Amino acid sequence: MCSNLRSWPVFNSLKPEFISEIHMVMVFGKLGKRALIVTRKDKKVYGLVNDNLHTLESRDKSSTMLYLKEVKDLCGKDIKTFAYGMGSHILALTNGGEVYSCDNIYQLKNGTFNMDLTFILINIPTIKDDRNMKHVVDIACGNKHSVILTKNDEVYAWESSPNNSGQVDNSTYELSITPKLILSNIGCISCGDNFTMAVTRNGKVYGWGSNDVGQLGINNFSLYESKNMLRQTSMQRTLFSGQNATIPQAGGANNFENKNMTPQMVGIPESLIVDKVTCGSNHTLVLTDKGTIYAWGGNKFSQLGIGQTEFYTPIMVNQIEKMRWIDIAALNNTSIAVTEAGRFYVWGDCRGECISIPIATSSFNVHDTFGYYGPSIMHKPLILNEKPDILGCLGIAFNNSSTSDLTIQVENECIYVHKVILTICSLHFKRMFEKNWKENNQSVIKIDDVSYNVYKAYLKYLYTNTVDLCLINTFEKVSELFDLANAYCEDNLKKQCIYRIKQEITVSNVAYFYSFAVKYDTEELREFCVRFAVIHMRAVVKTENFAKLEDKKLMNRFINEASKAGCFKN
């Protein structure tokens, strides 16, 4: 596995030889099960679905459910980037400035995903001849609408075309199904679920679309509770002194659509110039020329970085004194920022935890930060290195009989490995080969006390530093791999297992993994399960795994820890 992809489980089951040919990837979909792949040499485009992700079960599956298929409409088109929303469509932009749109990426009624993706070329109505060709330089998507930015700084928008996904409503955004000119003199665009933001060349911010939670940064919003509005009045007067801010009166119209289809300027302090805008599902971040970040909109998951207070007009994100931000990104309800010193900070929804102010991470790029802390999808495509790194080369060597000098036999199945790699990467095998163990002189080593898939996953981990979830796809196999990691003193493998488990936790299995965490004395996982359960406790107590907690003492411990974490507070 290429080190750049280790945060993205959707690629775990691809063959290393294929991974080495990948130029670009884009992970999307509700649970990160889907991806688009562009190869390096022949510029082919593939759609990928790995349906093993987020489906840990208590029994074995009969198939791996991995689908990889060419997207013929895009093959050879020299793709520059992709954009997607949470709806049923996706855009592709070529290096030649052409835009292709697909409106059939939805899930079928039988639960499988549509793999026959059809992309069509989008024509901008103002194109007259080659000299006036509208060269597109950027694209963005909301739930059902698309936005493009042309080389001459024009913004066009349109609604997703009708399709048989059942998501058809041509009046939802009051847009036509063909591109319409919205704004000019624009340098940056971004879309939330139901709204769009744009930054002009002189650093002003405009927004249009839904404003039901204040995501446009203007005061024309629907009030959920009048107390939220009243709480902000004094704060806004202090923040924007000398600026006439209009606060909506309590008891105003409660129109949750609240569409503002004419672009309106956001009230950023006049002394600031905005360099970049980025949108989550229903919140907005902007980066200014002073290295500060302003945020507004939905804050249910603390994604504004200001604590838990709702805010409908721009407010500066908390930052450490003398720290300067140089980049921002938002995805769903998660926010990320990068400091001038190269540190990556995250806040908002972090794997079920609400982080109210920016916290530093150990990540080295925005993609890895979203992969580890965020919703398992990408904010933009990831470009891979031209040549495989060391992990990529080792991955190609795994289970390769032509270069192997040792065979591991499990359940009458053979796994082809290399003594030198096992010696370097595994303390267990290092002891075996350096001491006078009977296996030291054998060309075939038989393993009897571990299942084939689990032992293969362990050996593959030694080569790739990644746990293959297609091999470890049940509760029992996770426990078996953890037992093996304990026996072989593989602390890093145990950490990987915990990380993967945290990605897989749902309402139905959180009680099981709490019991698992207690059994193996893993405090990090136990605390994570408790925090997750606190949010979903009413549903958790109705699950089969909650009823199966081993004894009354363990169930009481679970409930007591949830109570201490604030579960039963009014």
pLDDT of residue 521: 92
pLDDT of residue 115: 66
Question: Which residue's structure tokens are 């981990």?
Answer: 461
Note whether 188 and 39 are same-domain residues: yes
Note whether 374 and 399 are same-domain residues: no
pLDDT of residue 553: 86
At which of 356, 383, 410 does a domain end?
Answer: 383
pLDDT of residue 453: 94
**Residue range 196-200: average pLDDT?**
97
State yes or no: pLDDT of 441 exceeds 70: yes
Backbone angles phi, psi at 365, to 5 degrees: -160, 170
pLDDT of residue 226: 36
**Residue range 360-385: average pLDDT?**
91
pLDDT of residue 147: 96
Note whether 392 and 526 are same-domain residues: no
pLDDT of residue 25: 97
Backbone angles phi, psi at 409, to 5 degrees: -110, 120
**Residue range 168-185: average pLDDT?**
70
Number of Cβ within 10 Å of residue 203's Cβ equals: 16
Any domain includes 49: yes
State yes or no: pLDDT of 252 exceeds 70: no
- What does the DSSP assignment read for 209-235? EE-TTSTTSSS----S-HHHHHHHHHH
pLDDT of residue 170: 39
pLDDT averaged over the chain?
Answer: 83
Note whether 307 and 409 are same-domain residues: no
Do 503 and 8 meet the contact criterion of CB atoms below 8 Å apart? Answer: no
Note whether 447 and 533 are same-domain residues: no
Note whether 211 and 325 are same-domain residues: yes
Give the contacts of 196 (CB within 8 A, at least 6 positions apart).
140, 142, 145, 147, 157, 182, 189, 190, 207, 208, 209, 279
Per-residue tokens: 303: 């994604």
pLDDT of residue 322: 75
State yes or no: pLDDT of 389 exceeds 80: no
Any domain includes 204: yes
Note whether 183 and 297 are same-domain residues: yes
Give the contacts of 88 (CB within 8 A, at least 6 positions apart).
103, 104, 105, 106, 144, 160, 163, 165, 167
| Domain extent for 409 | 387-484
Note whether 42 and 189 are same-domain residues: yes
State yes or no: pLDDT of 116 exceeds 80: no
pLDDT tier for residue 2 given thresholds of 50, 70 and 90: low
Distance, CA of 493 to CA of 295 (rounded, Å): 38
pLDDT of residue 129: 47
Give the contacts of 453 (CB within 8 A, at least 6 positions apart).
471, 472, 477
State yes or no: pLDDT of 496 exceeds 90: no
N- to C-terminal Cα distance for the chain?
Answer: 47
pLDDT tier for residue 234 given thresholds of 50, 70 and 90: very low
pLDDT of residue 107: 57
State yes or no: pLDDT of 374 exceeds 50: yes
pLDDT 10s digits, 33-86: 899 999 998 999 999 987 665 455 555 544 445 789 999 999 999 999 999 987
Note whether 48 and 132 are same-domain residues: yes
Name the residue with higher pLDDT: 216 or 58.
Answer: 216
At which of 334, 363, 383 does a domain end?
Answer: 383
Note whether 440 and 526 are same-domain residues: no
pLDDT of residue 54: 47
Note whether 207 and 296 are same-domain residues: yes
Any domain includes 212: yes
CATH number at residue 515: 1.25.40
**Residue range 438-461: average pLDDT?**
91
State yes or no: pLDDT of 239 exceeds 60: no
pLDDT of residue 236: 36
Residue type, 475: F
pLDDT tier for residue 375 given thresholds of 50, 70 and 90: confident
At which of 420, 449, 484 does a domain end?
Answer: 484
Any domain includes 459: yes
State yes or no: pLDDT of 111 exceeds 60: no
State yes or no: pLDDT of 172 exceeds 60: no
Any domain includes 495: no
pLDDT of residue 497: 87
**Residue range 554-567: average pLDDT?**
88
Do 24 and 382 meet the contact criterion of CB atoms below 8 Å apart? Answer: yes
CATH number at residue 435: 3.30.710.10
Name the residue with higher pLDDT: 171 or 558.
Answer: 558
- State percent of the chain over pLDDT 90: 52
pLDDT of residue 133: 58
CATH number at residue 315: 2.130.10.30
Any domain includes 288: yes
pLDDT tier for residue 168 given thresholds of 50, 70 and 90: very low
Any domain includes 496: no
Query: Of 107-116, 117-126, 319-328, 516-525, which gets the smallest average pLDDT?
Result: 107-116
pLDDT of residue 272: 93
pLDDT 10s digits, 258-299: 567 789 999 998 889 999 999 999 999 999 999 999 999 999
State yes or no: pLDDT of 247 exceeds 80: no
State yes or no: pLDDT of 244 exceeds 50: no
**Residue range 155-177: average pLDDT?**
58
**Residue range 126-130: average pLDDT?**
49
Give the contacts of 220 (CB within 8 A, at least 6 positions apart).
211, 248, 258, 260, 264
Name the residue with higher pLDDT: 97 or 171.
Answer: 97
Q: What is the CA radius of gyration of the chain?
A: 26
State yes or no: pLDDT of 101 exceeds 70: yes
Per-residue tokens: 496: 């990987």
State yes or no: pLDDT of 152 exceeds 90: yes
pLDDT 10s digits, 293-350: 999 999 999 999 998 777 889 999 987 777 899 999 999 999 999 999 899 999 999 9
Domain count, the chain: 3
Tell the burial category of 174 from Cβ atoms under 10 Å away from its Cβ (0-12, 13-18, 19+).
exposed
Query: Of 6-10, 219-223, 526-530, which gets the smallest average pLDDT?
Result: 219-223
pLDDT tier for residue 125 given thresholds of 50, 70 and 90: low
pLDDT of residue 503: 77
pLDDT 10s digits, 48-61: 987 665 455 555 54
State yes or no: pLDDT of 169 exceeds 80: no
Note whether 333 and 200 are same-domain residues: yes
Any domain includes 498: no
Sign of torsion over alpha carbons 172, 175, 178, 182 = negative
pLDDT tier for residue 500 given thresholds of 50, 70 and 90: confident
pLDDT of residue 83: 97
Backbone angles phi, psi at 325, to 5 degrees: -85, 145
